[in-house]
Amino acid sequence: MRSTLKRRGAQVLQIASIVIAAFYLIFSTLASGAAEVRYEPTPMDVVREMLLLADVRAGDVVYDLGCGDGRIVVAAARAGARSVCVDIDPQRLAEARANAQAAGVSERIEFRNEDLRNTDFADATVVMLFLSAEMNRLLKEKLLCARPGLRVVSHWHAMPDWPPERSIRAMSEMGERPIFLWIVRNDTRDPRSRNGSKCAR
Ligand SMILES: C[S@@+](CC[C@H](N)C(=O)[O-])C[C@H]1O[C@@H](n2cnc3c(N)ncnc32)[C@H](O)[C@@H]1O
């Protein structure tokens, strides 16, 4: 009888410690602001198509929100643009810095270790995304209220209730990958436009 009670007690303690450990893991991950979108690089063929779709050229300011190893910002800088590489993961930013240096374009790229949800991209002419459906949903209003003319290109994920201006399927060694282009419009009658009443300006 006593040994059965002891066993039960040990089991209860074991379950309680597993539950506490799970809660600790969840809350510490949230509190640290860790990346919610796991790292997966865009294949280089697709990077080139993204730059073409956005018509990136000298004079552009290209932000990659969640820039990973920096391949998009490096390609944009090589095309003559100035670019901004934003990532929450310092290891990814270190890789991006090294890749920019190897490509000889470091002076054209700004690196920001921050949560992309707080990024000020007021000076952007192009925003590149390869995130998640949920992250695109969170960013949509901010993008719609950005300056008219801003080109937004997303690899893989669309925007809820914002039909793209163009979408293509890029061929890569990973198979066909959809990419989408939106252009922020000032014309509020255009269903693709920003909703003026919701924007601060
Ligand atoms: C799918 S990868 C895309 C990397 C790169 N843009 C590309 O296309 O090759 C997503 C990147 O977003 C970063 N990320 C995820 N959540 C983030 C957040 N809240 N703020 C900033 N970066 C984030 C991840 O660390 C990861 O490097």
Ligand 1 lined by 57 (C-beta under 6 Å)? no
Same domain as 107, residue 150 = yes
Mean pLDDT by 10 residues, the chain (201 residues): 61 49 40 69 98 98 98 98 98 98 98 98 98 97 94 97 96 94 80 59 55
Tell whether 39 is covered by a domain.
no
Domain of residue 15, residue span: 1-32
Q: Tell me which residue has its CA closest to atom 14 in ligand 1.
A: 66
Distance 78 CA to ligand 1 centre (A): 21
State which ligand 1 atom lies nearest to the alpha carbon of 37: 15
pLDDT at residue 102, as a whole number: 98
pLDDT at residue 187, as a whole number: 72
Domain count, the chain: 2
Q: CATH code at 82?
A: 3.40.50.150
Class of residue 172 by CB neighbours under 10 A (exposed 0-12, middle 13-18, buried 19+): middle
pLDDT at residue 174, as a whole number: 87
pLDDT at residue 68, as a whole number: 98
* DSSP states of 5-72: HHHHHHHHHHHHHHHHHHHHHHHHHHHTT--SS---PPPHHHHHHHHHHHT--TT-EEEEES-TTSHH
Same domain as 180, residue 112 = yes
pLDDT at residue 36, as a whole number: 79
Same domain as 28, residue 86 = no
Residues 42/155, Cβ–Cβ less than 8 Å: yes
